[in-house]
Structure 1
Amino acid sequence: MHAFRKAVENRDVAAIDELLADNVVFTSPVAFKPYEGKAITKAILRGVLRVFEDFRYVREYAGPDGRGHALLFEATVAGKALTGCDFLHFDADGKVDDLMVMVRPLSAATALAEAMGKQFDQIQREAAAELTAGSD
């Protein structure tokens, strides 16, 4: 089992933090523009942990060079069942430097967008607080 999978399944925010590169880029399934940086990515992932119900990884794929990984998952958001995939890329230090998430079907993606939209003020506050704390 991949360390990222284990950290997410255990809802271990500290372990997720350790696995993310400072320059990680997060591509959301419901936002046009990618998010850059560890603080915002961590805050988004915490938001996802709050809105996903019955989350579980069901399959795991590794690329031949060991730097790419795909984790297929299932969850429920606002009563809508969804299937998704976390596409991970690892830098030379083994940290996640790229995380792209895709989900289906459209009705579940819409429910996810709405649920995350309600979280976004909190997500932005959490990211800003981390950036401020990091500059002290």
Structure 2
Amino acid sequence: MHPFRQAVEARDAAAIEALLADDVVFTSPVAFKPYAGKPITAAILRAVMRVFEDFRYIREIGDDDSRDHALVFEATVAGKLVTGCDFLHVDDDGLIDDFMVMVRPLSAATALADAMGAQFDRIQREALQAGSAPA
């Protein structure tokens, strides 16, 4: 089992963040432009944990020694069943440096966009606070 999956299933935000490279790029299923950096990506993932209900991974694709992994999931957002996939790429240190999410169907993607939009001010505040914290 991929360490990211273990951290998500444990709902361990600190462990999730520890698996992200400083220069991670997060590509959202509902935003046009990717987000760059660990603080914003970690804040987005914390928000996702707040808006997804009944989240569960249903399939994991990728060998343990592979740098690319696909984690297929199901969850509910605003009463809509979401099926999606987290596509992860890890760097030489084993940290996630590329993270892309895709979801379906459109009605669920729209519900996710609305729910995440409602979280965006908090996401930005958390990212700014983390980015200004001493290392």
Q: Specify if TM > 0.5.
A: yes
The 3-state SS of whatever aligns with 2:131 is helix
Which letter does structure 2 place at the counterpart of 1:5? R
Which letter does structure 1 place at the counterpart of 2:40? I
Counterpart in the other structure of 1:14? 14
Cα distance between partner residues in 2 of 1:64 and 1:18? 19
Matched, 1:39 2:9: no
Per-residue CA deviations over 1:89-124 (Å, capped at 9, x if unaligned) read 000000000000000000000000000000000000
Normalising by structure 2, we get a TM-score of 0.97
The 3-state SS of whatever aligns with 1:134 is coil
Counterpart in the other structure of 1:114? 114
Counterpart in the other structure of 1:4? 4
Shift of 1:14: 1.0
Matched, 1:24 2:24: yes
- Superposed, 1:1-136 pairs within 5 Å as 1-62=1-62, 66-134=66-134
Residues matched between the structures, number: 135
Alpha-carbon contact 2:2-2:64 (below 8 Å) kept: no
Which letter does structure 2 place at the counterpart of 1:46? R
Say which is worse superposed, 57-66 or 74-83, in terms of deviation: 57-66
Cα distance between partner residues in 2 of 1:61 and 1:26? 19
Shift of 1:134: 3.0
Q: Which runs of 5+ in 1 are unaligned?
A: none
Normalising by structure 1, we get a TM-score of 0.96
Shift of 1:63: 5.4
Alignment identity in percent?
73
Which letter does structure 2 place at the counterpart of 1:119? Q
